[in-house]
Structure formats: structure tokens, C-alpha cells
């Protein structure tokens, strides 16, 4: 039997090449290896304030982009989180088995709540909903970027704690993080992870950016005052650009360093822009085709929810029986 994969993506902000290189590209590439479930996590999106019309549009956009990068609904279940009520229900149950101290240690919460007057309880509780997403499908493998690893480990801890009290109920999931590209950095500030919520027009390359925008963003990307083009993690700007180049071309590091020997940052940026534009062009074309008929995506998502609901209900019933509900 194939191992079960589950992963999710938030429909907030603009989906960028960090999401693609760190996560969705791998989901698409390994679909035949696993039994896959991918989720557009709209309930996670509302942990921070959202405009209803924008949220609706973003749910559609992220759905279209998942399919455009190659997720195939014949080989993977793809659905919208709020269409499957078991997610909220299991999240509540898991809350009751998760010590506050575990949640308080979460790096993402600490970062996102910093300098904020009033963050929602939902933002604090976000990892319990993520644990519910994963545990509801008896997931073995959770492919994510580096920033989500801690949440998957917390999910494992919650499952272990529950199993220790009640006996084996949950499958213990493991995070899978790509060797290269697990943490693509912002172009404007290579000390910061490329993020959907970061302001600044030059921070991220978005999957739907037109060619001239991509070229300009890369042109303005922060580098350093040195000259040679080599992989050196202590020079995060150039390192990040080289990693992006490597992932879009599939070339080895040696080939890349040899290729840029004696050339300058302007050459690196020019060639990087070309390969990114070329790499994103088929995704953008496919996205345009998929979204030309709005009813098409809706019907696929209705089918996805229909497939997910019985799987989720089965595990939820198991959990409720175990703890004496119902």
C-alpha cells in the first residue's frame, strides 16, 4: 500500500516561488509514489483578518495554481478545508489534549504575534487545526518547507500523547523537507524567509508575476559588495539567487559556479530572470486555461470534498468513540 501524503497551503496573499520550490513542486512531482491529499486551508487563512471578497478570490487562485503546477485531481484528492467540517471538530478535540506550553513555544506564533496589539485566539491555536488536518487522514508523510516543520513535529507530539492515554488511535506523521529550497529567502532582505504576508513590492516573486515584473524584482534583489559568484551561506543574497537558479535549471552547483566564473552579478541576475520567466510560463498558461471557465474549478473542488469527507469522518468517529463522545 502506498504511504499517505497530506499537505496544505493557505489562500492568503500571493503564492510565490518559495511555496513552489519548497512545497508544491514536490507534491506534484511525487504524486505517483504516494496516496495524496492536498488542501487549501481557508480556515487557517481567517486566523488573521481577511476581506471576504478577497478571500473568496484567493481560494480560487490558489486552487487554480495547485492544478497549474501539476497537481492532478485524478491522482490526488484536492479540496477546500472548510468544505470538510471534521477538520474544525477534530481541532477542538485536539485542543483538549494539547498543553498551552507546547503552543507557546511555536516560532511562527511568536513571530506573527510580535508587535501586534491583538492577535486572535485562532492564530495561537493554528497548530491544533493543522494537527487535525494531518491526523484526520492517517497521514504518514507531510511534505512542507522548513518553516512548517515545527508544526508537523508538534502534530506528532499531540498524536503520541493521545495514543499514550488511549492506545493507538492516530498514525504518527513525519515531515519531509526538501534538501535544497526548503527556505527560499526574500529578495529584498535575504535574512528573511520569502513570505506571503511580508509587505514590500520587491520581496517575493509571485507565480503569476508577468515577465517584466520578474526581471525588475531580480534586478533589484539585494546582493553584497563582493564579486565572485560562489555558494557561500554567509553571503545570503547571492546564495539565495544561486539556489533559485539551481532549482529552475536543474544544473549541478559545480556547473553553475563554472558557468558564472568571471561573470558579474548583473549577468547572474539577467540569466536568473530568464530561467524563472521560462519556468513559470507554462504554469501561468495552464492557470489561464484552468480559470477561463469558473465553474470548472468549482466542480473539481466539490468532487475533492466528496472524496475527503468519508475518509475524515472515519477517523473522527474512531476518535470520538475512543474518548467516549456520542
User: Is there binding between residue 316 and ligand TYM (CB under 6 A)?
Assistant: no
- Of 217, 256, 243, the C-alpha closest to 235 is 243
Q: How far is the CB of 101 from ligand TYM (least distance, A)?
A: 20
Residues in the chain, total: 326
251 belongs to the catalytic site: no
- Confirm or reject binding of residue 193 to ligand TYM (CB under 6 A): yes
**Which window, 128-136, 221-229, 276-284, 312-320, contacts ligand TYM (CB under 6 A)?**
128-136
State the nearest-atom distance from the C-beta of 205 to ligand TYM, in Å.
11
C-alpha 37/C-alpha 227 separation (Å) is 45
Among 194, 290, 316, 319, binds ligand TYM (CB under 6 A): 194
Out of 58, 193, 217, 269, pick the active-site residue: 193
196 as an active site residue: the answer is: yes
Separation CA 310–CA 164 (nearest Å) = 26
Tell me which of 71, 84, 141, 142 binds ligand TYM, using CB under 6 A: 142
Residue from 237, 217, 240 nearest 225 by CA: 237
Q: Which of 9, 40, 77, 308 binds ligand TYM (CB under 6 A)?
A: 9
230: left (phi over 0), alpha (psi -120 to 50) or beta: beta
Bridge partners for 79 per DSSP: 39
Active-site residue identified among 58, 196, 217, 269: 196
Q: Is 18 in the site for ligand TYM (CB under 6 A)?
A: yes
Q: Which stretch binds ligand TYM (CB under 6 A): 5-13, 162-170, 216-224, 253-261?
A: 5-13
Active site residue 314: no
User: H or E stretch including 176?
Assistant: strand 174-176
Question: Any residues with CB less than 8 A from the CB of 280 and at least 6 apart, and which?
Answer: 17, 207, 209, 214
Q: Which is nearer to ligand TYM, 106 or 257 (CB)?
A: 106
How far does Cα 192 stand from its chain's mean position?
16
Residue with cell 488511535: 169
190 binds ligand TYM (CB under 6 A): no
Residue whose Cβ sits closest to ligand TYM: 22
**Is 8:23 a contact under the CB 8 Å cutoff?**
no
Contact 139, 185 (CB under 8 A): no
The residue (of 182 and 221) whose beta carbon lies closer to ligand TYM is 182
The set of catalytic residues is 112, 193, 196
Binding residues for ligand TYM, per CB under 6 A?
Answer: 6-10, 18-19, 22-23, 41, 44, 130, 133-134, 142, 144-145, 147-148, 182-184, 193-194
Amino acid at each position: 500500500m502506498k504511504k499517505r501524503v497530506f499537505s496544505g497551503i493557505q489562500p492568503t496573499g500571493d503564492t510565490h516561488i518559495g511555496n513552489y520550490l519548497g512545497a508544491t513542486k514536490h507534491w506534484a512531482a511525487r504524486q505517483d509514489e504516494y496516496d495524496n491529499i492536498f488542501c487549501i486551508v481557508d480556515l487557517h487563512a481567517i486566523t488573521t483578518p481577511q476581506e471576504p471578497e478577497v478571500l473568496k478570490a484567493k481560494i480560487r487562485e490558489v486552487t487554480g495554481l495547485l492544478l497549474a503546477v501539476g497537481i492532478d485531481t485524478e491522482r490526488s484528492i484536492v479540496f477546500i478545508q472548510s468544505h470538510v467540517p471534521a477538520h474544525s471538530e477534530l481541532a477542538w478535540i485536539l485542543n483538549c489534549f494539547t498543553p498551552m506550553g507546547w503552543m507557546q513555544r511555536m516560532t511562527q506564533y511568536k513571530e506573527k504575534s510580535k508587535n501586534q496589539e491583538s492577535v486572535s485566539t485562532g492564530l495561537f491555536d493554528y497548530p491544533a487545526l493543522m494537527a487535525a488536518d494531518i491526523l484526520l487522514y492517517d497521514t504518514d508523510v507531510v511534505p512542507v518547507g522548513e518553516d512548517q516543520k515545527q508544526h508537523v513535529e508538534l502534530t506528532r507530539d499531540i498524536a503520541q500523547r493521545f495514543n499514550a492515554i488511549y492506545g493507538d488511535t492516530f498514525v504518527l506523521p513525519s515531515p519531509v523537507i526538501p534538501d535544497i529550497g526548503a527556505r527560499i529567502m526574500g529578495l529584498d532582505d535575504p535574512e528573511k524567509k520569502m513570505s506571503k504576508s511580508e509587505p514590500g513590492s520587491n520581496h517575493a516573486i509571485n507565480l503569476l508575476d508577468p515577465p517584466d515584473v520578474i526581471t525588475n524584482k531580480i534586478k533589484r534583489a539585494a546582493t553584497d559588495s563582493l564579486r565572485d559568484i560562489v555558494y557561500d551561506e554567509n553571503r545570503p543574497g547571492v546564495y539565495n539567487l544561486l539556489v533559485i537558479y539551481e532549482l529552475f535549471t536543474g544544473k549541478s552547483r559545480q556547473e553553475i559556479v563554472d558557468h558564472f566564473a568571471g561573470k558579474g552579478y548583473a549577468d547572474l541576475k539577467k540569466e536568473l530572470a530568464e530561467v524563472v520567466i521560462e519556468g513559470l510560463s507554462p504554469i501561468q498558461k495552464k492557470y489561464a486555461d484552468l480559470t477561463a471557465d469558473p465553474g470548472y474549478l468549482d466542480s473539481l473542488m466539490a468532487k475533492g470534498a466528496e472524496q475527503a469527507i468519508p475518509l475524515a469522518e472515519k477517523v473522527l468517529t474512531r476518535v470520538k468513540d475512543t474518548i467516549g463522545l456520542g
